[in-house]
Structure 1
Amino acid sequence: MQLVRGLHNLRPRHRGCVATIGNFDGVHRGHQAILARLRERAAELQLPSCVVIFEPQPREFFSPDKAPPRLTRLREKLCLLEEQGVDLVLCLAFNRRLRELSAAEFVHAVLVEGLGVRHLEVGDDFRFGCDRAGDFDFLLRAGAAEGFTVEAATTIEVDGERVSSTRLREVLARGDLDAAQALLGRAFSLGGRVVHGQKLGRQLGAPTANVQLKRRTTPLSGVYLVSVELDGVSRPGVANIGMRPTVESDGRPHLEVHLLDFQGDLYGRRVEVVFRRKLRDELRFASLEALKTAIDADIAAARDYWRASSLMTSQD
């Protein structure tokens, strides 16, 4: 898969494709259905498939302090899109210049002159252009005039409700990982690099890997049973994700993972933390001693859980 950042980096070889446009935050089952149709159309027309995304996402540009938490950072999103067989990702910087493009200007600059789109897959509720003036009917008319076809993506439902990034955030916020997996088609995970922290876990007898999140907010919080993907091996653990209310907070969310019976240096390494089950909410404790007691109980619960699974047995 090739990544092109910005219209100015498109080359003549990129022209002529089957495309879709959106945030694709989470790359959930609804997105996967669009991408499956994209692959089908690309194969029929013998053209590459292209996904157009934005950084930052539009709501992050307009209201950075009120934007919903990211389900996937750009790096994670690109990996998931590649797994879905996408050939090309065009990542557009969502800035004032792009925001002020009219719907007609967007179509001309991005779809016609930039990508030479032959077919476009979008949701029937897709809106774009300045003040979101462009819609599906506008695209149908523009496609008829410019020589590309437009198709509305099929809505995917789980338990009678539409699969969406908003719904996924809702189930994650309440810690319902089974519902999240049903919407994603996989377990929810967060990736990042292990960085140095305050070493508080070590002082409390439970050393943790401090996974760099690079996020203002997270879609879930609390204490979770997790597995950590490291060197192609899944390792059992327990994690806290949140604002660490018992200790001095820096105002940013943290992900701290304790790997059961693990010895080794993880600093500087990238890991993927897969969330399996919620143990409890994040709490403010009256003292570090009370926090240590809670952490010990969390680790004991994690040990019981993983002992009952094949994952911990395979690590023995």
Structure 2
Amino acid sequence: MSFPASNGPCALTIGNFDGVHLGHQAILARVRDAAAARELSPAVMTFEPHPKEYFAHLRGQPELAPARIYTLRDRLAAIRACGIRQISLQRFNAHLAAMPAEAFVTDLLADSLQARWLLVGRDFRFGHQRRGNIELLRELGPQHGIEVEVMEDVTDPAGLRISSSDIRQALAEGNLDNAKAHLGRAWTISGHVLHGRKLGRTLGFPTMNIRPPARCAARAGVYIVRIHGLDDAPFAGVANLGMRPTVDQSRRMVLEVHALTEPDPLLARDPAFSKARLQAYGKLVRIEFLQLLRDELRFSDLDSLTAAIQNDVRLAYDYFSRHGL
């Protein structure tokens, strides 16, 4: 499907864009500039699920699917934030996987999307069994009024290619600084606040539950975070991203976020803020990850879990007292 509907001839690039990192941003900037110079709409074609995820499930090896940096919502929002006005979100399924390379160019790029300028990477492959390549694009493109441009890899200051794989590795290691250096911004998760079991409230640390990306790339653990979307200004917070092994045996990853109050949640509560937090259900919030405090642990009892959370909150307060909100 298209998101939004096609709005005329476009300058197009194609990719998965998981993370929309600095390399992706350079590609999207080139599309935006080419579109402006040619009076075209800047456009992106992307896929859901990732083609590698589709084929991993097809082979019965879902564990080989790439972990996700972003939810679909966050990926599309980041693409739009780069000045892209037309997003063609293609469901990667058996039909698309079997599409001949020639039909991919003729039916999808030329007829459906009205591409008039196309930017791809040097290793770009497309169509059934990845038979389409740059040479085929340069052969077929002009026949359909498509100008083809090939972009070299975007590299970091050390000359290394910026890749989603490197960001996944950084997140898996809990190295948020490295992930931020490649993303060009802090890593975030956005989502609507969901109702949970409300166990945190009984422990004295009420949390907001948000659904993380499927097969989330990040390390399970406790993080210092900023919370955006509850009010005009962000709130400080501490979050647990993981499977809650002490209280939940489902092995389903969840993100639980506790907002910090002043002067200290262990000593006093802010009634106005508590009311605002109770009204958070259904709100779309964005959680900005700042620092990994510790790995997620299984505790022997709820008292031990509560003591660990108290220490996490103390460390979070120390962090914001030094760095500010």
TM-score by length of 1: 0.91
- Paired residue for 1:279? 293
- Provide the rounded CA distance (Å) in 2 between the counterparts of 1:252 and 1:136: 42
Q: Deviations over 1:176-221 (max 9, x none)?
A: 1111111011100001111111112112221111112362444332
Q: 1:29 to 1:251 in 2, by over 3 A?
A: same
Distance 2:323 2:75 in 1: 30
What is the alpha-carbon distance in structure 2 between the residues aligned to residue 232 and residue 129 of structure 1? 46
Counterpart residue number, 2:251: 251
Q: 1:27 aligns with which of 12, 20, 28?
A: 20
Mapped partners of 1:23, 1:249: distance in 2? 33
The aligned counterpart of 2:311 is: 297
* Aligned equivalents of 1:290, 1:136: Cα separation in 2: 59
* Paired positions, count: 304
Pick from 97, 102, 105: which aligns with 2:103? 105
In the TM superposition, residue 152 of structure 1 has moved relative to its aligned partner by 1.6
Contact 1:217–1:252, Cα closer than 8 Å, also in 2:
no
Q: Matches of 1:183 and 1:213 in 2, distance apart?
A: 21
User: Which of these residues, 135, 138, 147, is aligned with residue 137 of structure 1?
Assistant: 135
Instruction: Please list every run of 5 or more consecutive structure 1 residues that lacks an aligned counterpart in the other structure.
Output: 312-316
The 1-side partners of 2:256 and 2:248 are apart by: 15
Residue type of the alignment partner of 1:130: H
Write out per-residue CA displacement over residues 119-157 of structure 1, whole angstroms, 9 at most, x where no aligned residue: 101111111111111122221222233332211223222
- Structure 1 window deviating more from structure 2 (15-24 vs 165-174): it is 15-24
Provide TM-score, normalisation by structure 2: 0.89
2:52 partner SS = helix
Deviation at 1:70, TM superposition (A): 1.6
- Aligned residue type for 1:177: L
Report if the CA contact (8 A) 1:218-1:253 is conserved.
Answer: no
Q: Is 1:225 equivalent to 2:237 in the alignment?
A: no
Q: Report the equivalent of 2:85.
A: 87
**Amino acid of the structure 1 residue aligned with 2:165:** T
- The partner residue of 2:33 within 40, 43, 52 is 40
CA distance in 1, matches of 2:167, 2:217: 13
Counterpart in 2 of 1:181? 180
| Deviation digits for residues 237-265 of structure 1 (CA, Å, limit 9, x no counterpart) | 11110111212232211100111014222
Q: Counterparts of 1:48 and 1:239 in 2: how far apart (Å)?
A: 40
Aligned CA distance change for structure 1 residues 229 and 5 (closer, same or farther; 3 Å) = closer
Where 1:163 maps in the other structure, the secondary structure is coil
Quick one: which amino acid aligns to residue 190 of structure 1?
I
Separation of aligned partners in 1, 2:216 and 2:304: 26
Structure 2, unpaired ranges of 5+: 262-272
Call closer, same or farther: CA 1:214–1:157 in 2, change over 3 Å.
closer
Q: Provide the C-alpha distance between the structure 1 equivalents of 2:124 and 2:46, rounded to a whole number of angstroms.
A: 13
1: CA distance, partners of 2:298 / 2:41: 52
SS at match of 1:186: coil
Per the alignment, in what secondary structure is the counterpart of residue 205 of structure 2? Answer: coil
Which amino acid counterpart does residue 160 of structure 2 have in structure 1?
Answer: E
Cα RMSD for the two superposed structures:
1.7
Please report how far the alpha carbon of residue 308 of structure 1 lies from its aligned counterpart in structure 2 after TM superposition.
1.9
Deviations 1:39-84 (A, max 9, x none): 1111111111110111222122222422122212221122111111
